[in-house]
Every structure is written in structure tokens, then in C-alpha cells.
Amino acid sequence: MKWTLERFLTFISALTLFGFGIWLFAVPSALAGIGIALEGPTARIDVRATYGGFELGVSAFLFLCVARSQWTRVGLVASGFAIAGFGFGRLGGIILEGGAEPLMWVFLGLEVALTAVIVAVLWRTRSAPRAPE
């Protein structure tokens, strides 16, 4: 398996989502660190589903895209949309709330930067010839 920049970025996205998914499935109360209080089992179940299960499912898809060379570009597109979606939601939240704590701005900066890198890589490789693997 040849490690292209597309494959590497898809792998990093998969690994990141996997890590957060495992962590927040196992310890949903970790969200209290950013001001999200979970009051009761229903809240913890929903965090396990949304932050845990969903992220684990997406990471599994991305790992599959890394393993299958013909799916790598699709995985990178999916990663780009997911990260851009986080950024869009975060920016919308900041606007609607009239501001945010510094951590939210840091996350937004990372999401914008990562989305820009993914778009640049996809743009750069859109018509590049592919080497057989």
C-alpha cells in the first residue's frame, strides 16, 4: 500500500475520530471540561451515541477507505465534509451566541485550516495520474 498525501490525511482523520469516539463513548462526562453538563442517563446515552458511536462509525468507514486505494479519495472528501461541517456548525454557534470562549476559536481555526488543506490536496490531485498499487 503506497502512502500518498490523500491516504495519510484520511488516516489521520480516521484516527482522530476513532480516538474521540472511544474516549467519549467510555467517558461521556469528559464534555464537562468544555462546559457541557450531562444531567442523567439519557444525556450520557445520547453523548455515547452522537460523540461516541457516530464518530466510531465514520472512523471505520475512513479506515476502510485507507485500506482500499480506490476509495482513498472518497474518504478524503468525506473527511473534508465532516471537518467543514464541524467548522460550519461551530461558526454558526459562535455567531448565534454572540461570541465564544477561546477554546472554541481554537477549534474553529483548526477546522478551517484542516478543511483548507484537504481542499488544496484534493484540488492538486484532481487530475494527477495515478500509479498502480
- pLDDT tens, 66-107? 999 999 999 999 999 999 999 999 999 999 999 999 999 999
Please name the residues in contact with 43: beta carbons below 8 A apart, sequence gap of 6 or more: 28
Please name the residues in contact with 83: beta carbons below 8 A apart, sequence gap of 6 or more: 13, 111, 114, 115, 118
Residue 87 lies inside a defined structural domain of this protein: yes
- Comparing 43 with 1, which gets the higher pLDDT? 43
Residue 36 lies inside a defined structural domain of this protein: yes
Please name the residues in contact with 117: beta carbons below 8 A apart, sequence gap of 6 or more: 9
State the first-to-last Cα distance of the chain, in angstroms, to the nearest integer: 6
Residue 131 lies inside a defined structural domain of this protein: no
Average pLDDT for residues 16-28, to the nearest whole number? 95
- Comparing 130 with 61, which gets the higher pLDDT? 61
Residue 129 lies inside a defined structural domain of this protein: no
Residue 132 lies inside a defined structural domain of this protein: no
Question: Which pLDDT score is estimated for 133?
Answer: 55
Euclidean distance between CA atoms 19 and 30, whole angstroms:
13
Number of domains in the chain: 1
Task: Return the half-sphere exposure (C-beta side, CA atoms, 13 A cut-off) of residue 13.
Answer: 35
* Structural domain boundaries enclosing 33: 5-124
Closest to 111 in 3D by CA, of 80, 66, 78, 133: 80
* Beta carbons of 126 and 118 less than 8 angstroms apart: no
Residue 130 lies inside a defined structural domain of this protein: no
User: What is the pTM for the complete model shown?
Assistant: 0.85
pLDDT greater than 70 at residue 127: no
pLDDT greater than 80 at residue 128: no
Residue 66 lies inside a defined structural domain of this protein: yes
Residue 40 lies inside a defined structural domain of this protein: yes
Cell of 11: 488516516
